[in-house]
Structure 1
Amino acid sequence: MSAELHPLLRDAPGQVALLLGDEAIVRGALEAGVTFASGYPGTPSSEITDTFARLAKQAGIVFEYSVNEKVALEMAFAASLAGARAITAMKHLGLMVAGDPLSTIPYVGVRGGLVIVSAGDPSCHTSPNEQDQRYLGPMLHLPVLDPATSQDALTLTRLAFAMSERSRLPVLLRITTRVAHTRAAVRFGELGKREVRGFERDPRRLVPMPAHARILRLEIPDRLATACEHIEELFQIEGDGPCVVLASGAPAATCSDVLKEAGLEAKFTLTTMGGVYPFPERALLRLLERADKVLVLEELSPFVEDALLALAARHGLRVRILGKRSGHLPEPFEYTPEIIEGALFDAFGLGSRPASAAPTPVEVPARPPVLCSGCPHRATYFAARAAFPADQLFFNDIGCYTLGFGPPLHTADALLCMGAGFTLAAGVSRMTGTRTVGFVGDSTFFHAGIPPLLNAIKEDVSMVAVILDNGVTAMTGFQESPASGLEEGRIARRASIANVARALGANHVETVDPMDVAATILAFERARDAKGVSVIVAEHPCPIWETRSTGALSARGVFEIDPDRCATCGRGACGLRCNLSISTGHERHMARSRALEAHGTSTPNVAWPEAVAPCAVHCPLGLCVQGYSGHIAAGQYSQALALIMSRLPLPDSVCRVCHKPCEDVCVRALHDGPVAINDLKRFVVDWAASQGRLPYDPPREADHGRGVAIVGAGPAGLAAAHDLRLRGYRVTVYDAEAEPGGLLRYGIPPFRLPHEVLRRDIDRILALGVDFHGSCELGRDVTLPGLLESHDSVFLALGARAPARLDLPRRDGAPPAVDALVYLKRAKDGALETARRVVVIGGGNAAVDASRVARRAGAVHVVIAYRRGREEMPAIASEIDASLDEGIEIRNHVQPIALVVGGVRLAQTQAGPPDASGRARPLVVEGSDEFVEADLVILATGQSPDLDALALERTHSGGLRVNVETAATSNPRLFAGGDLAGGARTVTEAIAWGLRAAWGIDRALRGTEAADRRPPPPLMNAWPHPQTERTRFWRADSVARSEPPHLAHDQRVSGFAEVVGTLTEAQARTEAARCAVCGMCGNCRACIDLFGCPAFYLRDGRVAIDATLCNGCGVCVAFCPNGAIRPLAREGA
């Protein structure tokens, strides 16, 4: 069955049809017998080439979308040389691309008629400038026609071919947006006959070497005169009034309408010029001679007006020429009816303009253009922004991808013309030394992108060249791309952009599908870190073009928002949601991290992410690790500090001595190593210390008069003091030592916790108004009854000061034995014994610290003896490693059996029945003992609190009975925590006890509502959301853990300088970016703030998806931090 004849191919003279000006041009060319048509799409000329593409086969003409306008003009000129009538169409900017052949063709001349359609864009509707092509007429010797209506467009196009052949000049048909895109009634003429007369050799003319060109130049005036004879006939005159208006182009039609609507036809003579160059002087002189004044109506430059002024001056005419030069009309932009009407009344003194009867125009909401739903360009930009730093310079190009300029994609720092995405990136890179990114589209790459890419490769520029290949020239109407096309209803690739880039010499070339967000991010990151020119080809078909062209609808469903997960903080159920505002940097980190994770858990059908990240659950303080990591990754250190200090009153100390349970459960350990969480905290805290003034001020309640006494100035007591003070309490702290700090001051050596660092924490707490009384011992200087009488409540935060007894046989002449904490305190006081050989009994932090102090005190041989295996040593693993680095020997599965002359006898142990903790009890292996030399034995087998002076209820094991959630004791006004409460004894856990005690005290004194304004850290088993144990972890990237600098080995044991340093800023941001964001976050609108798909919108302040706009591309599902985007449930499904 044959296809229906295209309407423009009907040979029906006199038929009237509603045509766009662009369509009318096609009909005019057909009536002239055009045989060849070419062009490059560009609004507002695109409908010309599109129409030719649709009807060419039926019409029997040759048509092509050329790779650029220069090629299009050259092809049309070649067709003309072959004796065929030819037409080529482009927008005004494209005519400049064709400038080289355009400037020579008038010299050589044409054979078959050649019409060049160049569509201008007054008001810059779709263009970056208002270039006025009419000036090319006198500059390049081109006849220029300027149609005013769709009918003019048809008529002048038909006449242009004859003019071209008679004058042997190409004719420039200059249209503007309103002519091109106005649909109006057009009367058809007869279709012309096509003819190809063949190529005729004429080297003198067709080979314009300089000698020939000089001769050809002399022919041009006569040829222009021939063209002018045609133009003299292209005048239309309406009316015969005394007020004379000379108009050309679209304003002529508008003026005609204005005169009719205002009832002024009788007062005016409206003369419309069909051609503006060569200037039709004879006809215009006749006009000038009968007029006192003439108003010239033309858009853009005063081209006609200036020519008319010159003509009048040359002929001594006194007629007044009015228009732009006289100030009656503006020079820029299109002319509206109101502008023209105002000029008519002002120029001819017609009095006040009549009031408009038109209704007040309705304000239409702004609708800026955006990339379509499912657009692969959006996915590419999203991935680029995820991979490159926030200050990355992006240079964009001309196409629908230019829409990456605005929010939220922000991928256009500069834009010039087609192909300049590469040249601008290269030039800025060479001048600034920064690695830049340039974008071009697939059509643009072949149009104008290959030379700048080759140039950048030749110069070894540091840049990333990105080709956005969606298979089509989309923005101008889905014209075919040079690289892709349709074959038998299917999309087919005709050329490989990647292969072209390699052929140009690019060494790093990758092709990615931008809808695979993870792969695209990683490709960009590899390009970011490479040297020289990297080329990324983002290849995925435009979904709209694909559907329209193939008729295949996407089999994917659409998506909706899960309101229970969207913008939901998993910590909110415990009252721990932060008060930070949403920031795009943090959102970008979360979205990137989620996109790089291939979802999977050890339990099928378990939603990921978890409500609360494992690191937060296992942190005694419940810190939002993923939150401060994300802000570090984004370079937002103040926000990261706020998240840390809002829950941690001793940040400087903790980031140096924490036992890091968070890192033990980091899911990244299953892949490429746990995130260095504590080092990240250290980076932020040290950054804050370097700022001069601390960039964080915790919120405080007003003083309300209640007072609390705290006994013990260790980490638990200081934490409680800090928190109670923020709650508005008067706080007095008592401690047996002269200075506050407890274990932090006297039990941890300065190479781990420098004194000035601890001082920062303590000073900050005391500066809140906390009173400290040192050298004040409970039972000697103050009593519990006395404290309870003078305070509303008392918190006992006494440390474990009594060393555990180790009953060992001791022989005369045996080396002295000292408790580890006593030894460490002496080290702080500078009163250390010197010993060359030291044996430390124990496996905890005190044992490791004491051993390392002994090395610094001069010991040449230090042995740590521990009765269980290395993996069971309670000391921090990194500190154990540090001790080994410092030459300390660790002997596991041994325990002392006697102190003897010159040393210690150690016996091997083996696992026995479980003890009270559930661990296997070490049993001595008979006959396995050996002698180890020692001048000093340090006992680090633990400490216990002295409970004898406390008349409080005990547990069955003799410990103090304390409520683990509130720190309450059997006395309702007395609270206890830290070492007194038993359990694990780490600095971080002691702080958590202090915070829970502060909450418990506040709850008892002011009630739950007041206390819950600062909720305490939850116990690990008290989080409201169950944890899913992950046994596997899928991740698209693999990044080695960053390690902070360490003091050189030869410098460590020679003094007490801090061993572990701080991550650099670059290290910290890289390490923070490794965070997998395992928990749900409430500070997120990544889909709107980063992606900007039009299917997303806000409904009552909540994110929603418009199912009529969603095409199911699934990119948003891949990066949603909370996993809140799910397939839309279908009825009956």
Structure 2
Amino acid sequence: MPKKQTKTNFNKSERFNFALTWGDVDGREYRQEIVDLANKIGRTKAGTSREAIPFGPEYYALAPILDEYQAKMAIHLEFRKKLSAEDVAKASGEPYEKVKETLDYIAWAGVAFVNTIDGVDMYWQDIFVPGHLELINNNKELVAKHPEVAEAFYYFGSKKGPMAAGIMPVGGGPMRVLPIERSIDGNSRKASYEELSKHLNEAEVFSVSDCSCRTSREEMGEGCGHLKEDMCVQLGHAAEYYIKTGRGREITREEAFEIIKRAEDNGLMHSIPNLDEPGHTHAICNCCGCGCYAMRLANEFVNNDIVRSNYKSVVDEDKCVACGECVDVCPTNALRLGQKLCSKEPIDEKMIKTTPRNTEWTQDKWNSDYRVNRKNTLDSGTAPCITNCPAHIPVQGYVKLASQGRYTEALELIKKHNPFPAVCGRVCPRLCEEDCTRGDIDEAVAVDDIKKFIAEQDLNKDVRYIPRIRHDYSDKKIAMIGGGPSGLTCAYDLAIDGYDVTVFEKENKLGGMLTFGIPSYRLEKDVIEAEIAVLREMGIQFETGVEVGKDVSIQELRDKGFHAFYVAIGAGSGRKLRLEGEEASEVLSGVDFLRTINLSEPTNVKGKVVVIGGGNVAIDVARSAVRLDRVVQTDIFCLEARENMPAHAEEVEEALEEDVKINNSWGPTRIITENGKVTGVEFKRCLFVFDADGRFNPQFDADDKKIVECDYVLLSVGQTFNYGNLLEGEGVKLTKRNTIEVDHVSLQSSKADIFAGGDVASGPRLAIDAIAAGKEAAVSIHRFVQKGQSLVFGRDTHSYKVLDKDNLTENQGYDGTVRQRTKHINGKESRTTFKDLRGTLTEEQIKKETARCLGCGATKTEEYLCVGCGACTLKCKFEAIKLEKIYDVKGYEIDDLPKAVIKKAASRKAKIMANKINPFTKTR
């Protein structure tokens, strides 16, 4: 008979963990046979702190999938003792046929193992984890019908994880990290049981299945973007069970090796069930730190000893270039970027102050937000270049590769973060150089010139870098609306993941503002085309001359099978000033003027030209006007003083060299016309642009005015958006600035399947900002179109911090090599053509310039947090990080483990007491 739950059956911490999920359970009826079975599988006793209780996670894993008879038959099975249906029938007194049918169901459900031995099906039980909770969650039919079993898997960790903090000896955890074999090749101290190949070569039967941890996460809507399919490899008896019950498909040993390598190449690491006999296992899991429940023990409960291998990572700072590739794949955030320059005051590089080894480990010491709070750098900061770049491109890394002549690898590294290095090498405002530490000595490293040299490979179709397609998600169609830098970047990253991507562009050419808004003297159009050609080779489809909202609606694209949309239409329309005379035909938008020039269309602009605006676009407009044969004079008028102009200082100087006259601190009051034609502009003196609170609030001297004669006025005072009918009927919210309102992390709009980024979400910014947004959108769209994936959990937070340059010592042995430059082009020459006359550094100059880099940053490792998986070593191109063996533990027999735990717990308790008596002498 069902019993009723009472408060005396429920421990307070368990009430906190589970009642929130499954509601108040007091007074609810429960099934005693399920509680009994849960305690038998868990090898726990009623009344103890570890017991399985009604409505606890073990209960919810079993109750939905077993009826009373099935549960009672399961109770007759034994831990790792193989019994036949005939054995169980005799023990229970039940008919053989009914028992056999029941046991087959129990095994299919995941509450028992089954193998056919000498023609007879033999059944047995194991522990919950690693064991039956994985088996249950690998049953797709049951999880779909009873999603609570997925939640039970998660909450089992919530119950058991805190209990094990600090008391589990290294090598004794139920799951253990197995180092990637390539990371310990050549290590003279490695043991055979630490080699993945040993386990694969010893097995005769293999299967592969979905990852049960990610299945659970997915069902809870908390996936991390690492998908579950074909992730876990079973060996021997486990493989036989998985094949027999339909959980996995049979594979060959060669396929198993291929699956393992593919996982490693994609940044995953391995863990194995660790409670078989020491040195043996029945499965190899390909894990991530953000989804794996074994790694959760380390990441949330900071109990890294329970899963660690015998190794730790060691960084050779002399070789390290702070590229961050190792940081990206570290499953425990044990690697972070720091600095390696000498400091006046010592820097605290500890990532964790206390550990469970010698401290009472209460909930306030957990890292419960580990899936959203990863850090890329130490609190003391790292190199300014990678930090200041909106896309966080690892400058120091590709500079070092270039210094070694490894140009293809350098290009590959750049293009992981930016698919348009040749473009950016010509037009980027070099935020990486603005705070370059070398600039405090003489001049910043010529980062953009180095990048431009590396990216020259992209202009040659025979040697350009085409990224490897990592997955096949071609069953999902994604639409980019807008073919500018943001949309193209998003398309590039999604194509790498194997999605079916189509870019819709209303113009007949791709590139957006790169094509239509940047003059050729800065960016030749063949450069854009060369880098877009890479996207074509990747299989991305382009529909040019198609305006979404006019030629086809978003809903019509949905009806054609598109699963998600990225709106990246840019800010292609010029703002107006609402001045008297602004409607005259000789008053043009600066961006419209640039579009005409870039398309080589005829223009009537001539005579004296006034450009209004002080930003980069205004400079481009003025320098383009100067190049027209019929223009006799070009003047820029802007509100800002020279030192406060938003335009890049170098471009201002180039404009001056080309005889563009810049008139600072003037604001237009009206455009003067006679007989409908422009004759001049009236300006008044601007006293200041921003008020004391930093708000745009220009103030003028009404008595200080002047009239400037001109024939044409080109307005470059900002850009806005032309949505047309794009968003009609979609319910997409706009901000007060007329941008699309999006979540600041995911870039998801108020319409779930519509994402937006670049200028249309942020307002007009730089091309590199648009590129960075495109990358984030690709991460979100991948997660959105895949079942059960969170848009936030486990994604890169881009949490960077600049090192304190004031704390650096002054004499660090720098060489005196001057900054390398291309030949300077005189403004009188450059103004005569729209060709880009700027050259590229020679290879000899590249060697000199890359040597000027001070190498500010380096990866730092926290020994306690590192679990010795080796994923970092595969990503390093500089042999700067390796695994070092620090333990020599093979494992424990499961029946011997309790003794080891008791011994470790006693030692830990003594350390905690010692630290309380003398807190100034911490014991480890």
Match for residue 618 of structure 2 among 831, 834, 847? 847
Q: What is the distance in 2 between the residues matched to 1:976 and 1:1007?
A: 21
Q: What is the distance in 2 between the residues matched to 1:1131 and 1:993?
A: 46
Aligned-residue offset at 1:748? 0.7
8 A Cα contact 1:978 1:990, kept in partner: yes
Q: What is the distance in 1 between the residues matched to 2:593 and 2:707?
A: 23
Q: What is the distance in 2 between the residues matched to 1:755 and 1:713?
A: 15
Q: What is the distance in 1 between the residues matched to 2:886 and 2:535?
A: 40
Q: What is the distance in 1 between the residues matched to 2:599 and 2:722?
A: 24
Match for residue 860 of structure 1 among 632, 638, 643? 632
Q: What is the distance in 2 between the residues matched to 1:742 and 1:912?
A: 31
The residue number in structure 2 matching 1:963 is: 743
Aligned-residue offset at 1:1058? 0.3
The residue number in structure 2 matching 1:471 is: none
Q: Report the aligned-residue RMSD.
A: 3.9
Aligned-residue offset at 1:648? 1.1
Q: What is the distance in 2 between the residues matched to 1:730 and 1:1097?
A: 38
8 A Cα contact 1:641 1:696, kept in partner: no
Match for residue 785 of structure 1 among 521, 543, 555? 555
Aligned-residue offset at 1:931? 2.1
Q: What is the distance in 2 between the residues matched to 1:1010 and 1:680?
A: 38
Deviations 1:609-662 (A, max 9, x none): 966422112211111100001111222212211111121112221211112211
Matched letter for residue 662 of structure 1: C
The residue number in structure 2 matching 1:638 is: 408
Query: Is the partner of 2:733 in helix, strand or coil?
Result: coil
8 A Cα contact 1:611 1:1080, kept in partner: no
Q: What is the distance in 2 between the residues matched to 1:1010 and 1:694?
A: 35
Residue segments in structure 1 that go unaligned for 5+ positions in a row: 1-364, 367-560, 579-589, 1103-1128
Q: What is the distance in 2 between the residues matched to 1:922 and 1:810?
A: 22
- Seen in structure 2, the aligned counterparts of structure 1 residues 693 and 797 have a Cα distance that, compared at 3 Å, is same
- Seen in structure 2, the aligned counterparts of structure 1 residues 958 and 937 have a Cα distance that, compared at 3 Å, is closer
Match for residue 914 of structure 1 among 681, 691, 709? 691
8 A Cα contact 2:735 2:741, kept in partner: yes
The residue number in structure 2 matching 1:668 is: 438
- Seen in structure 2, the aligned counterparts of structure 1 residues 874 and 746 have a Cα distance that, compared at 3 Å, is same
Q: What is the distance in 2 between the residues matched to 1:825 and 1:955?
A: 27
Q: What is the distance in 2 between the residues matched to 1:833 and 1:798?
A: 28
Matched letter for residue 961 of structure 1: E
**Larger RCO (alpha carbons 8 Å, 6+ apart):** 2
- Seen in structure 2, the aligned counterparts of structure 1 residues 1010 and 575 have a Cα distance that, compared at 3 Å, is farther
Aligned-residue offset at 1:1056? 0.9
Taking the TM superposition and a 5 Å limit, the aligned residue runs for 1:615-764 are 615-690=385-460, 692-764=462-534
Deviations 1:443-474 (A, max 9, x none): xxxxxxxxxxxxxxxxxxxxxxxxxxxxxxxx
Aligned-residue offset at 1:957? 5.3
8 A Cα contact 1:653 1:758, kept in partner: yes
Match for residue 657 of structure 2 among 870, 873, 885? 885
Residue 1039 (structure 1) aligned with residue 817 (structure 2) = yes
Deviations 1:810-841 (A, max 9, x none): 299x7811101110111122212241321111
Q: What is the distance in 1 between the residues matched to 2:790 and 2:699?
A: 53
8 A Cα contact 1:809 1:898, kept in partner: yes
Q: What is the distance in 2 between the residues matched to 1:822 and 1:694?
A: 33
Q: What is the distance in 2 between the residues matched to 1:806 and 1:695?
A: 45
Match for residue 830 of structure 2 among 1052, 1071, 1079? 1052
The residue number in structure 2 matching 1:281 is: none
Q: What is the distance in 2 between the residues matched to 1:1079 and 1:811?
A: 52
Aligned-residue offset at 1:575? 2.3
Taking the TM superposition and a 5 Å limit, the aligned residue runs for 1:387-786 are 571=324, 575=328, 598-600=342-344, 612-690=382-460, 692-786=462-556
Q: What is the distance in 2 between the residues matched to 1:1101 and 1:694?
A: 43
8 A Cα contact 1:708 1:732, kept in partner: yes
Aligned-residue offset at 1:599? 3.6
Q: What is the distance in 2 between the residues matched to 1:907 and 1:832?
A: 30
Residue 1100 (structure 1) aligned with residue 885 (structure 2) = yes
8 A Cα contact 1:670 1:1031, kept in partner: no
Query: Is the partner of 1:849 in helix, strand or coil?
Result: helix
Matched letter for residue 487 of structure 2: G
8 A Cα contact 1:670 1:1032, kept in partner: no
The residue number in structure 1 matching 2:565 is: 794
- Seen in structure 2, the aligned counterparts of structure 1 residues 888 and 929 have a Cα distance that, compared at 3 Å, is same
Q: What is the distance in 2 between the residues matched to 1:573 and 1:956?
A: 41
Matched letter for residue 911 of structure 1: F
Aligned-residue offset at 1:731? 0.9
Aligned-residue offset at 1:1045? 2.6
The residue number in structure 2 matching 1:988 is: 768
Match for residue 944 of structure 1 among 704, 707, 720? 720
8 A Cα contact 2:474 2:499, kept in partner: yes
Matched letter for residue 741 of structure 2: R
Match for residue 818 of structure 1 among 554, 566, 588? 588
- Seen in structure 2, the aligned counterparts of structure 1 residues 871 and 913 have a Cα distance that, compared at 3 Å, is closer
Matched letter for residue 797 of structure 1: A
Query: Is the partner of 1:719 in helix, strand or coil?
Result: helix
**TM-score normalized with structure 1 length:** 0.42
Deviations 1:223-264 (A, max 9, x none): xxxxxxxxxxxxxxxxxxxxxxxxxxxxxxxxxxxxxxxxxx
8 A Cα contact 2:639 2:689, kept in partner: no
Aligned-residue offset at 1:892? 1.5
The residue number in structure 2 matching 1:923 is: 699
Taking the TM superposition and a 5 Å limit, the aligned residue runs for 1:39-188 are none
Residue 1073 (structure 1) aligned with residue 843 (structure 2) = no
Matched letter for residue 841 of structure 1: I
The residue number in structure 1 matching 2:603 is: 832
Q: What is the distance in 2 between the residues matched to 1:726 and 1:1010?
A: 20
Match for residue 645 of structure 2 among 873, 888, 908? 873
- Seen in structure 2, the aligned counterparts of structure 1 residues 920 and 670 have a Cα distance that, compared at 3 Å, is farther
- Seen in structure 2, the aligned counterparts of structure 1 residues 574 and 1032 have a Cα distance that, compared at 3 Å, is closer
- Seen in structure 2, the aligned counterparts of structure 1 residues 692 and 1029 have a Cα distance that, compared at 3 Å, is same
Aligned-residue offset at 1:717? 0.9
Aligned-residue offset at 1:744? 0.8
Aligned-residue offset at 1:1010? 11
Deviations 1:733-766 (A, max 9, x none): 1111011111111111111110111110111112
8 A Cα contact 1:672 1:1039, kept in partner: no
8 A Cα contact 1:870 1:892, kept in partner: yes
- Seen in structure 2, the aligned counterparts of structure 1 residues 675 and 840 have a Cα distance that, compared at 3 Å, is same
Aligned-residue offset at 1:1051? 2.3
Query: Is the partner of 2:698 in helix, strand or coil?
Result: strand
8 A Cα contact 1:1046 1:1059, kept in partner: no
Aligned-residue offset at 1:940? 0.5
Q: What is the distance in 2 between the residues matched to 1:1098 and 1:960?
A: 47
Matched letter for residue 847 of structure 1: A
- Seen in structure 2, the aligned counterparts of structure 1 residues 739 and 695 have a Cα distance that, compared at 3 Å, is closer
Q: What is the distance in 1 between the residues matched to 2:714 and 2:532?
A: 29
Q: What is the distance in 2 between the residues matched to 1:973 and 1:801?
A: 24
Query: Is the partner of 1:921 in helix, strand or coil?
Result: strand
Q: What is the distance in 1 between the residues matched to 2:619 and 2:800?
A: 37
Match for residue 905 of structure 1 among 663, 682, 686? 682
Aligned length, in residue pairs: 520
Aligned-residue offset at 1:600? 3.9
Deviations 1:182-209 (A, max 9, x none): xxxxxxxxxxxxxxxxxxxxxxxxxxxx
Matched letter for residue 767 of structure 2: V
Query: Is the partner of 2:532 in helix, strand or coil?
Result: helix
- Seen in structure 2, the aligned counterparts of structure 1 residues 811 and 634 have a Cα distance that, compared at 3 Å, is closer
Q: What is the distance in 2 between the residues matched to 1:734 and 1:849?
A: 27
8 A Cα contact 1:855 1:862, kept in partner: yes
Q: What is the distance in 1 between the residues matched to 2:540 and 2:610?
A: 41
8 A Cα contact 1:793 1:1001, kept in partner: yes
